[in-house]
A and B are shown apart, each in its own frame.
Chain A
Amino acid sequence: MSLDAFGITHSYDDDPVLADVQLSLAAESSVAIMGSSGCGKTTLLSVLGLLLAPRAGTVAFDGRSSSTMDEPERARLRGERIGFVFQTAQLVGSLRAWENVVVPARFRAGKAAGAAARARDLLDGFGLSDYAEHFPHQLSLGQRRRIALARALLLDPALVIADEPTDDLDADNARFVADTLFARTQEGGSLIVATHDRVLAERADAILMLEDGHLDPVSDT
């Protein structure tokens, strides 16, 4: 899925965070967004993922502007075409590991049937087969983040948006997460990843730097 963002401007109260941000992502490609803490990476990803309506600007998916979509349609797009990997695992404490993975399918009529089996496959592939029935509080940070990753990939989204997916993780877990995300771009998925991990960023097709509300390409060094 291709994504085009034009003139994205956002501020919280009177704090400007994004000023006229442009971004284009071709289908089956990846982009890394870097920038210091607090520069607005999460805000930008929220706008790109239709979680946050910016003060100005539009986001288009495969050429279709989100401003022409109604709320249920945007929800469906989020559910079916976009997978989110949040900065923290954001698992639901009352649900078991596999139930957390299956959450996106719960809101998609017709997707529930195969979802449990697909969740088990993902957990198996992530080395979590023994933890499917555990609740989040019984799991380590690395395990929780892998479960969150499985949830993002459950419905095989065309675009994955990952917000500092390797932050806080030990080297093994970080590599696993990065490998999993970039493996998908080999299979035709698009990826937007915010990170301040230079090594991770360099695996992307392009690196952009967010600074003072502006998003600029980083010249390759």
Chain B
Amino acid sequence: MWSLIRQSIAMRKVQSASVLVGVVLGVASLFALFLLYQGVFSGIATSISRDGADLLVIPSDAESSVSDDDLLFTGAPVTMYFSSSVADQIAGIDGVERVTGQFYGQTLDASCCSSIGAVRLVGYDASIDWVIRPWATMDGGEIPSQLVEGEVIIGSNVKGFGVDDPKVLGNPVTVVAVLAPTGTDLDDCILMDIDQVRAISAATDGYGHYWEKYGDPTGLLSAVLVSVDDGDQDAVAAKIEALGGVHVIKSAEAVKEVQGQMRVVFQVMLGAGVLLAVASLAKLFARFFSMAWDRRRELALYRAVGASRRDISRLIAGEAAVLVGAGSAVGLVLGVGLYRLMLGLLTTQGGFPFIACAPLVVAGGAVIIIVIFAIAGALAVAAPLRQAGRIDPASALQQVDID
């Protein structure tokens, strides 16, 4: 039986290949889409649930270098500064609940540090921060209420700190916490106490022109994160803007913007994915419908020499199962590749929070897609099977040879 299935597939190479390719593309696109969708929306959901900042305030001269949605989640550490007095002014505004400042230091690489690849040094004040703290993973450690010299927190993508004597810019450091994946540039950051980063930056070669321009780093901030009392965010934002020299990003709007962009992207992709899936199932149906018809003499002969109706059904269903099974397996692998490709393309379009699916979710998605294709495949061969069941074994005795 198995050898008949194999031969039948091998014999109809073009047809089999086109069905196979159809299933592969359908499964791959749906799977890639599933992984992306899960990643993007769990990223957004996590960002929202972590109750970050309502408003992000940055120097107005940095505005042109990054877009709002970059800044929202990532804090997109760019080299930009304003006076730390801005934070005090904002804290004094009516309706502002909490304020915390960040200082963006230099980009670090393997030449100076234990880290592998480029990471950003970010200084913040752990004693008043509420934005970073919730991202500390359970097993990644608890963030102390105050970071002392040499203590660092690393983002989920930062590698190379597993060694015995991790270093940052030649100084020995201790990793006190690892952050959960945020899907943002935060994943590529090393966080230190803000005053230590200021001191390091002040001493860094090539940064002198910044301090000439903005003043001594001890009095500077790169961004102020603001949480607003329940009430009118817009009014508070307007009051902050009125301080001058600052640009305010509203997180609710930025989230909406990112979600809106993603939704459009996903609708387009979903349309394409569904179309591909439907086309592949239509191909499957056509293949098996015409197969049962083209091969009715062959199937009649099988009946005549001892195949029961059930054997014939098994033959056809087995062929469909092999094509759908093999196509799904290849499709899942290809889907992962497609997912990486699309993720790469999307991230070049701007930062957005992305959290890769947990293995269990990936497996669940794979199972769901395989089940969908199995059911659709079964529906596609149902009619051909019924047709094959009616094949008259006596027609095998009629004159024409089987081709």
Question: Which residues of A are in contact with B by a Cβ distance under 8 Å?
Answer: 42, 45-46, 49, 51-52, 71-72, 75-76, 78-80, 84, 86-95, 99, 103-104, 106-108, 136-137, 144, 151, 163
Contact = CB atoms under 8 A, between A and B. Distances in A.
Contacts of A79: 305-307
Contacts of A107: 1, 302, 305-308, 311
A84 B303 CA distance: 12
Interface string B282-308: 000000000000000110011111111
B133 interface: no
B2 to A, nearest CB: 9
B305 A87 contact: no
Contacts of B400: 88
B308 A95 contact: no
Interface in B181-209: none
Interface of B: 1, 3-4, 7-8, 11-12, 297-298, 301-311, 392-394, 396-403
Given A79-B306, A79-B307, A107-B1, 15 more contacts: A42-B398, A51-B397, A52-B394, A71-B308, A72-B309, A72-B310, A75-B308, A75-B311, A76-B306, A86-B397, A87-B399, A88-B399, A90-B396, A94-B11, A137-B403
A75 B403 contact: no
Nearest to A79: B306
Contact of B304 (A51, A99, A136): A51
Contacts of A80: 306
Contacts of B394: 46, 51-52
B306 A78 contact: yes
Contacts, number: 92
Most A CB contacts (10 A, CB to CB) among B3, B298, B397 go to: B397
Contacts of B309: 71-72, 75
B396 A106 contact: no
A75 B306 CA distance: 5
B191 to A, nearest CB: 67
A71 B298 CA distance: 19
B396 A51 contact: yes
B385 to A, nearest CB: 15
A104 B301 CA distance: 10
A95 B403 CA distance: 10
B399 A76 contact: no
30 contacts: A42-B398, A46-B394, A46-B397, A49-B304, A51-B303, A51-B394, A51-B396, A52-B392, A52-B393, A71-B309, A72-B308, A72-B309, A75-B306, A78-B303, A80-B306, A84-B304, A86-B396, A87-B397, A87-B399, A88-B400, A88-B401, A90-B402, A91-B402, A94-B11, A95-B7, A99-B7, A107-B1, A107-B305, A107-B311, A144-B401
Contacts of B11: 94
Contact of B301 (A42, A90, A99, A163): A90
A99 B297 CA distance: 17
Given A51-B393, A94-B7, A106-B4, A78 B401 contact: no
Nearest to B308: A75
Contacts of B397: 42, 45-46, 51, 84, 86-87, 163
A35 to B, nearest CB: 15
Contacts of A45: 397
A89 B398 CA distance: 11
Contacts of A108: 306
Contact of A89 (B7, B8, B401): B401
A22 to B, nearest CB: 21
Contacts of A106: 1, 3-4
B402 A93 contact: yes
B305 A151 contact: yes
Given A45-B397, A51-B393, A52-B394, A103 B402 contact: no
Nearest to A96: B7
Contacts of A86: 304, 396-397
Contacts of A84: 304-305, 396-397
A59 to B, nearest CB: 14
A78 B3 contact: no
A110 B184 CA distance: 61
Contacts of A92: 298, 301, 402
Contacts of B302: 103, 107
A94 B297 CA distance: 13
Contacts of A46: 394, 397
Contacts of A42: 397-398
Contacts of A89: 401
Nearest to A76: B306
A143 to B, nearest CB: 13
A185 to B, nearest CB: 21
A45 B3 CA distance: 30
A72 B307 CA distance: 8
Contacts of A88: 399-401
Contacts of A137: 403
Contacts of A72: 308-310
A8 to B, nearest CB: 14
A94 B8 contact: yes
A92 B8 CA distance: 11
